[in-house]
């Protein structure tokens, strides 16, 4: 049904379906996400879940200041100043954000890699729309192979800020929906808008200072390797996040993470699961004397996730083993 | 179904929809879509509250429309939530209960395990698609126990984190993170 709405939205194509124009917009996307100052409320829906969050965002002295406040469910907010992240967490929910927030260091933005996007997606300027009161252009990214989803991005015309996005299947079904419902692009943001206001347990983390994303090579996959990955997906983050041996891969638009861990006490079912555009694929892998759990999580089709998971080879089971024990 | 109708549905879930919006929803030309969306959300809610499955797939729009029009409903004795007084009737509380009971709290989950066939569709739409020769088996996640769910959630969250900071997707990534945490699992 959302697909129908989508079709309606873009039913008035511009005369200019220029790929060149589309890529110019895409080049603005990365910087705009960080360097635009704005406040607003956005809604995020995937699968059956809808969440809204209030956000204030500005760029001061080369640092991102950002405050997000949950608008439904429990109280909670996330304040980020550069690499310093403070979370006040909702009491409910079985998984605490603090288990995962300190996962730095990460590449600040591989949004830069949006440049070669046209190799894997057909980028088109397909129309104009109005989102949260702002005129925006609609960029359609159509996957050139079946390994990734289609994306549709609404970029505000003057700033290039992403104000709405869809992730969908080739058939047109929208799996994930992000949209500002109210937005004010302004430099007039008070200091107080970036201060924690919710009372509760505060968790502070410093994402380690890593000045620039280093080109990550296969060496980051300590003890294991991928026999196959969809073309265009490159390692994007160092695997220092928590206890998992996660490596993230991105093609500049979509990303998936691969986890290879010794199978612990908890036995997990194998197979694929989906929520919105996110697929989780798990499988067991015997190597040496140990059994590993391989998990692929990402905004990729289940078939891609499976193929990636099935291609994982544990090169040095012992190394992995001794590190964990 | 447009965003406004979706909002109305969402508001109904929260007992906050006003009558005008509900009427607009009911007059929507694609009632099947409306019902479908409603049911999916109810299923999530049902799961969150660990409710058991009642009747599924019942179209209650007719009944609700009658309630809105203040007409007495031709209903069976077994409907516990029939509004007696249409005059002082408030949309949310009463009709919500009616609707919830009739639609039933399904045993489904936010996870689209029911969508298995969609994968095949995606695959067949693409020629020369060696990656997708066979449909992918899907795991019914509602069957996970607490420990398994926590384990799975950690992966989801870490990935969301990669997206928000690593991918420079900013708020989208954060939203994925919150969405993954949910508020009731």
Contacting B residues, span 47-86, partner chain A, CB-CB under 8 Å: none
Q: What is the pLDDT of residues A227-275, one digit of tens each?
A: 898 988 877 654 344 444 577 787 877 888 888 888 877 788 888 888 7
Contacting B residues, span 133-152, partner chain A, CB-CB under 8 Å: 136-139, 141, 143-144, 146-152
- Examine the fold and report which residue of B79, B103, B127 is the final residue of a domain before the chain moves on: B103
Is the model more confident about A175 or about B68?
A: A175
What gap in Å lies between CA A262 and CA A284, rounded to an integer? 10
pLDDT at B141: 57
- Bridge partner list, B30: none
The residue extents of the domains of chain A are 2-206, 218-324
pLDDT at A125: 92
Does B175 fall in a domain? yes
pLDDT at B172: 53
Residue A174 has pLDDT above 80, yes or no: yes
Model confidence at B80, pLDDT cuts 50, 70, 90, reads very low
pLDDT at A40: 92
pLDDT at A296: 92
Write out the E strands in chain B.
Answer: none
Phi, psi of A283 (to 5 degrees): -150, 160
**CB spacing of B159 vs A298 below 8 angstroms:** yes
CATH H-level superfamily of A2-206:
Lipoprotein localisation LolA/LolB/LppX (2.50.20.10)
pLDDT at A95: 36
* Chain B nearest CA to A172, separation (Å): 10
Q: Give mean pLDDT, residues A135-159.
A: 91
**Lowest mean pLDDT, pick from A32-41, A150-159, B109-118:** B109-118
Question: According to the per-residue pLDDT averaged within each range, which of A55-64, B92-101, B111-120, B176-185 is highest?
Answer: A55-64
Residue B7 has pLDDT above 80, yes or no: no
Residue B163 is given by DSSP the state I
Residue A157 has pLDDT above 90, yes or no: yes
Residue A319 has pLDDT above 70, yes or no: no
Average pLDDT, chain B: 51
Residue A129 has pLDDT above 90, yes or no: yes
A103 in reach of chain B (CB within 8 A): yes
Q: Kindly state whether residues B87 and B147 are assigned to the same domain.
A: no
Angle between helices B61-69 and B96-103 (to 10 degrees): 160
**CB spacing of B158 vs A90 below 8 angstroms:** no
What percent of chain B is predicted at pLDDT more than 90? 0
How many helices (H) does chain A have, and how many strands (E)? 4, 19
pLDDT at B175: 55
Q: Kindly state whether residues B97 and B175 are assigned to the same domain.
A: no
User: B-chain residues within 8 Å CB-CB of A280?
Assistant: 152, 155-156
Phi, psi of B46 (to 5 degrees): -60, -45
Q: What is the pLDDT of residues B19-68, one digit of tens each?
A: 666 666 666 666 667 666 666 666 555 545 444 333 344 455 666 666 55
pLDDT at A70: 76
pLDDT at A138: 94
Residue B162 is given by DSSP the state I
Model confidence at A94, pLDDT cuts 50, 70, 90, reads very low
Q: Looking at the partner chain, which of B122, B163, B179 has a beta carbon nearest the beta carbon of A171?
A: B122
Q: Kindly state whether residues B92 and B176 are assigned to the same domain.
A: no
Look at chain B and report how many structural domains it folds into. 2
Q: Kindly state whether residues B96 and B11 are assigned to the same domain.
A: yes
pLDDT at A182: 94
What gap in Å lies between CA A108 and CA A60, rounded to an integer? 16
Q: Kindly state whether residues B84 and B162 are assigned to the same domain.
A: no
Which helix (H) or strand (E) is A26 found in, with range?
Answer: helix A19-35
A199 in reach of chain B (CB within 8 A): no
User: B-chain residues within 8 Å CB-CB of A170?
Assistant: 122, 125-126
Q: What is the pLDDT of residues A198-219, one digit of tens each?
A: 766 665 655 543 333 334 443 4
Is the model more confident about B170 or about A153?
A: A153
Residue A103 has pLDDT above 60, yes or no: no
Q: Kindly state whether residues B98 and B177 are assigned to the same domain.
A: no
ipTM of the predicted assembly exceeds 0.85: no
Residue A76 has pLDDT above 80, yes or no: no
Is the model more confident about B77 or about A251?
A: A251
Count Cβ atoms within 10 A of the Cβ of residue A15 and give its class: 0-12 exposed, 13-18 middle, 19 or more buried. exposed
* Containing structural domain, residue B156: 141-185
Q: Give mean pLDDT, residues B122-140.
A: 44
Q: Kindly state whether residues B96 and B173 are assigned to the same domain.
A: no
pLDDT at A320: 57
Average pLDDT, chain A: 73
Q: What's the Cα-to-Cα distance from B68 to each of A315, B31, B81, B160, rounded to whole Å?
A: 66, 17, 14, 43
Contacting A residues, span 31-50, partner chain B, CB-CB under 8 Å: 33-34, 42, 44, 46-50
A248 in reach of chain B (CB within 8 A): yes
Does B98 fall in a domain? yes
Q: Looking at the partner chain, which of A95, A248, A303 has a beta carbon nearest the beta carbon of B181?
A: A95
Q: Mutating which of B162, B164, B182, B185 best tests the A interface, going by the most A Cβ atoms within 10 A?
A: B162
Q: Kindly state whether residues B7 and B75 are assigned to the same domain.
A: yes
Q: How many CB atoms lie within 10 A of CB B141?
A: 22
Q: What's the Cα-to-Cα distance from A220 to each of A223, A239, A258, rounded to whole Å?
A: 9, 7, 12
Secondary structure of residue A56 in the 3-state scheme: strand
pLDDT at A313: 87
User: A-chain residues within 8 Å CB-CB of B110?
Assistant: 47-49, 275
Does B131 fall in a domain? no
Write down the CATH number for the domain with range A218-324: 3.30.200.100
């Amino acid at each position: 049904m959302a697909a129908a709405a989508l079709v309606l939205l873009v039913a008035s194509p511009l005369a200019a379906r220029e790929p060149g124009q589309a890529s110019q917009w895409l080049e603005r996307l990365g910087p705009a996400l960080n360097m635009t100052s704005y406040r607003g409320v956005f809604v995020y829906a995937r699968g059956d879940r809808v969440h809204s969050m209030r956000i204030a965002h500005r760029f001061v002295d080369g640092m991102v200041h950002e405050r997000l406040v949950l608008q439904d469910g429990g109280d909670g907010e996330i304040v980020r100043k550069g690499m310093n992240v403070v979370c006040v967490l909702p009491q409910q929910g079985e998984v605490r954000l603090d288990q995962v927030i300190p996962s730095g260091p990460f590449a600040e933005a591989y949004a830069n890699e949006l440049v070669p996007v046209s190799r894997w997606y057909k980028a088109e300027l397909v129309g104009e729309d109005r989102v949260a009161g702002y005129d925006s252009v609609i960029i359609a990214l159509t996957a050139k192979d079946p390994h990734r989803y289609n994306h549709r991005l609404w970029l505000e015309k003057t700033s290039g800020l992403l104000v709405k996005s869809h992730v969908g299947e080739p058939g047109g079904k929208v799996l994930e929906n992000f949209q500002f419902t109210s937005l004010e692009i302004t430099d007039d943001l008070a200091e107080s808008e970036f201060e924690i206001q919710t009372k509760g347990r505060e968790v502070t983390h410093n994402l380690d200072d890593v000045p620039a994303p280093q080109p990550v090579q296969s060496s980051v996959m300590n003890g294991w390797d991928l026999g196959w990955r969809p073309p265009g997906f490159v390692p994007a983050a160092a695997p220092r996040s928590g206890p998992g041996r996660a490596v993230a891969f991105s093609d500049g638009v979509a990303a998936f993470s691969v986890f290879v861990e010794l199978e612990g006490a908890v036995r997990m079912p194998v197979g694929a699961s989906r929520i919105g555009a996110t697929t989780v694929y798990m499988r067991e892998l015997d190597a040496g004397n140990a059994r590993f759990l391989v998990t692929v999580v990402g905004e990729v089709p289940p078939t891609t996730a499976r193929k990636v998971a099935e291609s994982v080879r544990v090169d040095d089971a012992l190394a992995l083993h001794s590190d964990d024990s | 179904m447009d965003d406004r109708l979706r909002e109305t549905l969402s508001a109904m879930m929260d007992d906050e929809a006003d009558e005008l919006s509900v009427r607009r929803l009911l007059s929507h030309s694609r009632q099947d879509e409306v019902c479908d969306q409603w049911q999916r959300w109810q299923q999530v809610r049902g799961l969150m509250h660990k409710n058991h499955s009642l009747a599924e797939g019942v179209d209650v729009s007719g009944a609700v429309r009658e309630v809105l029009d203040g007409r007495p409903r031709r209903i069976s004795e077994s409907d516990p939530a029939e509004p007696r007084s249409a005059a002082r009737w408030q949309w949310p509380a009463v009709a919500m209960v009616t609707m919830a009971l009739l639609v039933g709290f399904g045993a489904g989950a936010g996870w689209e395990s029911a969508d298995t066939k969609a994968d095949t569709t995606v695959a067949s739409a693409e020629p020369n698609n060696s990656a997708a020769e066979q449909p992918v088996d899907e795991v019914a996640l509602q069957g996970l126990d607490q420990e398994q769910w926590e384990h799975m959630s950690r992966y989801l969250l870490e990935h969301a984190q990669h997206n928000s900071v690593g991918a420079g997707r900013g708020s989208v990534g954060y939203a994925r993170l919150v969405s993954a945490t949910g508020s009731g699992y």
